Amino acid sequence: MFEVNDLYVRVGEAEIIKGLTLAVPAGETHAIMGPNGSGKSTLAYALAGRGGYEVTAGAARLDGADLLALTPEARAAKGLFLSFQYPVEIPGLSAIAFLKAALNAQRKARGLEPMPAPALLKLMREKAQALNINEDMLKRPLNVGFSGGEKKRFEALQMAVLQPRFAILDETDSGLDIDALKLVAENVNALRSPARGMLVITHYQRLLDYIKPDRVHVLARGQIVKSGGPELALELEREGYDKYLRAA
Amino acid sequence: MNGLAKRLSARDTSVQSRALGDALFSHLLPTRRAEGWRWSDIQSALNDINQRVRVPREEEWSESAEAAVAHSARAGNVIAALAAGTADGWYSSWGPPFSNTSNPMFDQLGEVGSVGGRELEANEELVVVQHLKPEGGLAAHCYDFVVGPGARLTRVLLQSGDGVALVSGRVIVREFGQLRQFVLAEGAKLARIETHVEIEGEGAEVELHGVYFCDAGRHADLTSVVTHKAANGKTKQLIKGVARKGGRGVFQGKIVVERGARKTDARQYHHGMLLEEGAEIFAKPELMIHADDVACAHGNTAGGLDESALFYLRSRGLAEAEARALLIEAFLLEAVPEWLPAAVRDEVEARIGAWLRS
């Protein structure tokens, strides 16, 4: 169970999230939709623990653990995963070395031994193949020179290898053409399980054609202003966000 | 290890008494007002290690040095003059007749000083890896090379240790010759690695890469001048360095393209990273172009660690200290060339990794 309770987040002088409450039970996938500037990415960063995103009030829990008291790495070890809207390019660090370091760091935090290299390589190859990621791409510096689609596929690969308890997908559809979108969605769907929750953040309904949510929430002016079933996404696509902006 | 290291250590004592005596003529050393020494205060560094040193006069240069590095010393190269006064061997037959990246020759530079060098004949290959690790005194070394037509010199210099470590290298590159150089400088009270390259033949190629890292109280200075005198030459230079609080990194890189050095392609980049408040990095990149029809570029940056990259790694579960180390390592390793002999590359990576996790 992933819960956010009456959360307030400040970035610099501006209060962006103003009393947001949300609960995603294990096994469910929820979508947060909202217009530009409504605070979607701020919410994602604050939950993952990025510096400069100051939580001034409220709580966020994953399986009962107080996320806000933890460092970003400890949140990851608890099973939180954020798929970035703009994955960061890191010249000089190969994608595969990064993934290996990340997996073993999480295992260490959970009191597990590092995964033996052959098993790790096998796991990565298998997951990479499903995402059409070739070995060559794994050897390249992390995200450097990756196309928009490649970056998002590599985010999906990280998620598949790290097997988080709860994943937040921030605008995973941006920069993806339709084929890449389908492929990423397929792999995200393959990760859906009774033990795992997901929060899909998106501006457009299109992604939700492929990752079908159990619940849809509308984020406007820093709050959830409406929640409903998958049909809510279709309504937003038809009617836009205007009425929520006015009402909020 | 070859015989050179033995010869150097055997003569250390006598050299010390002869050239690095107590005579106090420190005014002869460059002050911070001198061109090229603004950020590297050699006088106060020598004071700090209690060394009273003057630049040896020409009549005090060892005979062997006369043949070797006199040109540099007369041209005002202080390191060459210091080396000429302290060294007593000129090793013209230095190195095996042939070496390559899988069979490099290793050379331990001594505690006090040495001069040396080698003229590579046409199409000859020499791969030399020099280790310099003074224990706290002054070490001054000067090496002159000539890279003959189509020959290739690969030179690696790994500096660590304490005290004042000075190295100057001069390389003349003839037509279609290649010079590949990599320097790793861990800094010392003051460590200065100078490289002077003169491209005299057409179509020569030069690579000058380097990495420096400086802890509190350590100073690393990479200074180079590349002069293109002939057409169709290429220079690639990438220097990367980091400094912690109280550490100082210096990069001075000059590329001169003389008239007539048409179709020169010169690229010079220096990127420094300040790891903590109170770290210092000074850079003076210079590109002087007196020829037409050339392609030249340079870039120079100094900044901190990219916070968004750090957060990205931490969000995947990497502890902050390890994430920082990985990012800085990745940053520095970009300047470590592929062509390094495998064992040397391993050593360089291990040294960088150990420093970052110290």
Kind and range of the H or E element at B347? Answer: helix B342-356
Structural contact between residues A164 and A196, judged by C-beta atoms closer than 8 angstroms: yes
Structural contact between residues B147 and B179, judged by C-beta atoms closer than 8 angstroms: yes
Give CA–CA dist B229/A85, Å, rounded: 50
Interchain contact A82–B (C-beta under 8 A): yes
Kind and range of the H or E element at B311? Answer: helix B307-315
pLDDT of residue B93: 44
Name every chain A residue with its beta carbon within 8 A of the beta carbon of B331: 91-92
Name every chain A residue with its beta carbon within 8 A of the beta carbon of B332: 92
C-alpha distances (whole Å) from A57 to each of A15, A19, A35, B42, B98 are 11, 8, 24, 56, 71
The CATH code of the domain that includes A153 is 3.40.50.300
Query: Which amino acid, one-letter code, is at B247?
Result: G
| Nearest Cα residue to B73 out of B58, B53, B62 | B58
Kind and range of the H or E element at B356? Answer: helix B342-356
Structural contact between residues B202 and B234, judged by C-beta atoms closer than 8 angstroms: no
SS3 call for B255: strand
Task: Indicate yes or no: CB of B311 within 8 angstroms of CB of A51.
Answer: yes
Give CA–CA dist A215/A25, Å, rounded: 11
Interchain contact B329–A (C-beta under 8 A): yes
Query: Which amino acid, one-letter code, is at B61?
Result: W
Distance of CA B355 to the CA centre of its chain: 19
Q: Which H, E and C letters describe chain A, residue by residue? A: CEEEEEEEEEECCEEEEEEEEEEECCCCEEEEECCCCCCHHHHHHHHHCCCCEEEEEEEEEECCEEHHHCCHHHHHHHCEEEECCCCCCEEEEEHHHHHHHHHHHHHHHCCCCCCCHHHHHHHHHHHHHHCCCCHHHHHCEECCCCCHHHHHHHHHHHHHHHCCCEEEEECCCCCCCHHHHHHHHHHHHHHCECCEEEEEEECCCHHHHCCCCCEEEEEECCEEEEEECCHHHHHHHHHCCHHHHHHC
Give CA–CA dist B329/B327, Å, rounded: 5
pLDDT of residue B88: 54
Give CA–CA dist A205/A227, Å, rounded: 15
Give CA–CA dist B342/B320, Å, rounded: 30
Q: Which of 73-132 (B) contact A at CB < 8 A?
A: none
pLDDT of residue B135: 87
Query: Which amino acid, one-letter code, is at B206?
Result: V
pLDDT of residue B1: 31
Least confident of B44-58, B75-89, B124-138: B75-89
Name every chain B residue with its beta carbon within 8 A of the beta carbon of A93: 326-327, 329-330
B277: CB partners within 8 A, 6+ apart? B245
Structural domain containing residue B232: 3-305
Name every chain A residue with its beta carbon within 8 A of the beta carbon of B321: none
The number of distinct structural domains making up chain B is 1
Q: Which of 132-171 (A) contact B at CB < 8 A?
A: 141, 158, 162
Structural contact between residues A128 and A156, judged by C-beta atoms closer than 8 angstroms: no
Extract the tokens encoding B38. 């603004």
Task: Indicate yes or no: CB of B311 within 8 angstroms of CB of A50.
Answer: yes
Task: Indicate yes or no: CB of A93 within 8 angstroms of CB of B307.
Answer: no
pLDDT, tens digit, for every residue of B152-169?
Answer: 999 999 999 999 999 999
The number of distinct structural domains making up chain A is 1
Q: Does the residue B345 lie in any domain?
A: no
Structural domain containing residue A190: 2-247
Extract the tokens encoding B280. 């210092």
- Name the closest residue on chain A to residue B307, using Cα atoms: A51
pLDDT, tens digit, for every residue of B203-250?
Answer: 999 999 999 999 999 999 999 999 999 999 999 999 999 999 999 999
SS3 call for B321: helix
Q: Does the residue B351 lie in any domain?
A: no
10 Å CB burial of residue B135 (0-12, 13-18, 19+) is exposed
The two beta strands, B125-132 and B152-159, are parallel
Interchain contact A93–B (C-beta under 8 A): yes
Task: Indicate yes or no: CB of A102 within 8 angstroms of CB of B309.
Answer: no
Structural contact between residues B200 and B174, judged by C-beta atoms closer than 8 angstroms: yes
Q: Is the pLDDT of residue B94 over 80?
A: no
SS3 call for B306: coil
pLDDT digit string (tens) for chain A, length 248 residues: 999 999 999 999 999 999 999 999 999 999 999 988 899 999 999 999 999 999 999 999 999 999 999 999 999 999 999 999 999 999 989 999 999 999 999 999 999 999 999 999 999 999 999 888 988 999 999 999 998 889 999 999 999 999 999 999 999 988 888 988 999 999 899 999 999 999 999 988 889 999 999 999 999 999 999 999 999 999 988 888 888 877 65
Interchain contact A187–B (C-beta under 8 A): no
CA contacts within 13 A on the Cβ side of B125 = 8
CB nearest to A158's CB, from B316, B327, B329 = B316
Kind and range of the H or E element at B48? Answer: helix B42-48
Q: Does the residue B274 lie in any domain?
A: yes
pLDDT of residue B104: 82
| pLDDT band (50, 70, 90) for residue B30 | confident
Give CA–CA dist B206/B256, Å, rounded: 13
Kind and range of the H or E element at B320? Answer: helix B320-333
Nearest Cα of chain B lies from the Cα of A162 at a distance, in angstroms, of: 8
| Nearest Cα residue to B235 out of B253, B218, B214 | B253
**A-B Cβ pairs (cutoff 8 Å, strict):** 76
How many percent of chain B have pLDDT more than 70?
Answer: 86
| pLDDT band (50, 70, 90) for residue B9 | very low
Task: Indicate yes or no: CB of B326 within 8 angstroms of CB of A71.
Answer: no
Q: Does the residue B290 lie in any domain?
A: yes
SS3 call for B33: coil
Alpha-helical (H) ranges within B60-195 are 63-74, 78-86
pLDDT, tens digit, for every residue of B316-348?
Answer: 999 999 999 999 999 999 999 999 999 999 999
Give CA–CA dist B148/B125, Å, rounded: 10
